[in-house]
């Protein structure tokens, strides 16, 4: 009984092998990355398959590529990008052929801002990194990987940067080994308001001990070579002469006052309209 049962199993197995579908229906392959960003060899495994997607033994797949100056086929079943461009790799076997679209994007530089200011409490912001290829051409469809040197200061959230705490960090934007680095400073906004100073008027702000950045931007009410001054009381910081734009850093060791003034022009001076922002910043 057991012997006959064994014969029956063998007969079924032989029957299945004889009935296996060996008619080519498609070429199955491992798709290359949506965008190839280096000249490294990308393996491309392919086989002739039946309608069930099962590989058919004894069938070979050949591979060709065009344009030849964009991508090349290498021995061992792979392809390699030679320069930036779009190409087609054609797989052929079992009387079938399948085109495979290939996007080659070879970066030479990742361009990022040299430095950035982020403000505590603000929403995550994009870095606006630009991936450049040969000749400085921007490769807009190439994704960039962001990383922070100190996630406790600046965290990476998806493709954006989020201020976490007062301090400084470096943000790296990379496409494989090609990268750009931005110095990021996270500040705390203390004052941010519009500024309107008539001729001879001033506006003062009291500050507690700490390091500060004062930004002032104004325009004269009429065309005049005038601006505003920035002076300090209670802090050993240099006063700033009259101009329409100021970016001043100061360390305050004790409670102090910073004053923005529109110097009096005997009632003939222009009024100044603009804005003032004061930030607590990391110590130097």
How many whole angstroms separate alpha carbon 273 and alpha carbon 261? 12
Strand-by-strand arrangement of the 78-81 sheet: 42-43, 78-81, 71-74
Residue keyed to tokens 């804005």: 275
Percent of the chain with pLDDT over 90: 83
Residues 220-241 pLDDT 10s: 998 878 999 999 999 999 999 9
Q: Give the closest residue to 164 by CA, choosing from 128, 112, 125, 215.
A: 125
**According to the CATH classification, is domain 23-104 in 3.40.50.10420?**
no
Whether residue 275 has a cis bond before it, omega within 30° of 0: no
| pLDDT for the residue 16 | 44
Radius of gyration of the chain (CA): 34
Residues 81-122 pLDDT 10s: 999 999 999 999 999 999 999 999 999 999 999 999 999 999
Residue 10, H or E segment: helix 2-19
C-alpha distances in angstroms, 114 versus 85, 128, 141, 164? 29, 12, 23, 20
153 CB neighbour count, 10 Å cutoff: 20
How many whole angstroms separate alpha carbon 184 and alpha carbon 116? 5
Q: Are strands 71-74 and 42-43 parallel, antiparallel or unpaired?
A: unpaired
Q: Give the closest residue to 182 by CA, choosing from 156, 143, 213.
A: 156
How many whole angstroms separate alpha carbon 163 and alpha carbon 7? 74
How many whole angstroms separate alpha carbon 46 and alpha carbon 138? 33
| pLDDT for the residue 10 | 34
Residue 110, H or E segment: strand 109-111
All CATH 2.60.120 domain ranges in the chain, comma separated: 198-280
Backbone φ and ψ of 105, nearest 5°: -135, 100
How many whole angstroms separate alpha carbon 165 and alpha carbon 107? 33
Pick the CATH number of 198-280 from 2.60.120, 3.40.50, 1.10.3470, 3.30.70: 2.60.120
How many whole angstroms separate alpha carbon 254 and alpha carbon 266? 35
Q: How far is CA 250 from the centre of its chain?
A: 32
> Could you tell me if 106 and 71 are in contact, meaning their C-beta atoms sit under 8 angstroms apart?
no
Q: How far is CA 143 from the centre of its chain?
A: 7
How many whole angstroms separate alpha carbon 25 and alpha carbon 54? 10
Q: pLDDT digit of tens for each residue in the chain (284 aa)? A: 333 333 233 333 333 444 567 899 999 999 999 999 999 999 989 999 999 989 998 899 999 999 999 999 998 879 999 999 999 999 999 999 999 999 999 999 999 999 999 999 999 999 999 999 999 999 999 999 999 999 999 999 999 999 999 999 999 999 999 999 999 999 999 999 999 999 999 999 999 999 999 999 999 998 878 999 999 999 999 999 999 999 999 999 999 999 999 999 876 788 999 999 999 999 97
How many whole angstroms separate alpha carbon 194 and alpha carbon 274? 6
All CATH 2.60.40.1080 domain ranges in the chain, comma separated: 23-104, 109-187
Helix and strand counts by DSSP (H, E) for the chain: 1, 24
Question: Is the full-model pTM beyond 0.85?
Answer: no
Name the class of domain 109-187: mainly beta
């Amino acid at each position: 009984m057991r012997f006959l049962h064994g014969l029956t199993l063998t007969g079924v197995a032989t029957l299945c092998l004889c009935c296996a579908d060996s008619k080519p229906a498609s070429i199955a392959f491992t798709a290359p990355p949506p965008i190839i960003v280096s000249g490294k060899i990308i393996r491309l495994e392919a086989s002739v398959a039946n309608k069930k997607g099962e590989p058919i033994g004894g069938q070979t797949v050949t591979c060709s590529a065009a344009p030849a100056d964009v991508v090349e086929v290498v021995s061992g079943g792979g392809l390699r990008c030679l320069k930036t461009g779009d190409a087609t790799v054609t797989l052929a076997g079992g009387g079938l052929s399948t085109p495979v679209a290939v996007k080659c994007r070879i970066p030479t530089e990742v361009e990022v801002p040299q430095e950035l200011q982020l403000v505590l409490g603000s929403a995550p912001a994009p870095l606006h990194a630009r991936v450049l290829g040969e000749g400085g051409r921007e490769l807009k469809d190439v994704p960039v990987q962001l990383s922070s040197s100190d996630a406790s200061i600046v965290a990476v959230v998806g493709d954006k940067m989020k201020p976490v705490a007062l301090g400084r960090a470096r943000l790296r934007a990379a496409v494989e080994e090609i990268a750009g680095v931005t110095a990021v400073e996270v500040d705390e906004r203390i004052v941010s308001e519009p500024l309107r100073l008539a001729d001879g008027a001033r506006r003062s702000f009291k500050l507690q001990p700490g390091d500060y950045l004062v930004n002032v931007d104004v325009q004269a009410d009429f065309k005049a070579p005038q601006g505003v001054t920035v002076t300090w009381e209670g802090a050993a910081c240099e006063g700033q002469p009259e101009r329409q734009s100021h970016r001043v850093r100061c360390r305050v060791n004790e409670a102090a006052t910073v004053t923005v003034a529109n110097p009096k022009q005997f009632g003939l001076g222009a009024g100044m309209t603009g804005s003032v922002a004061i930030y607590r910043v990391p110590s130097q």
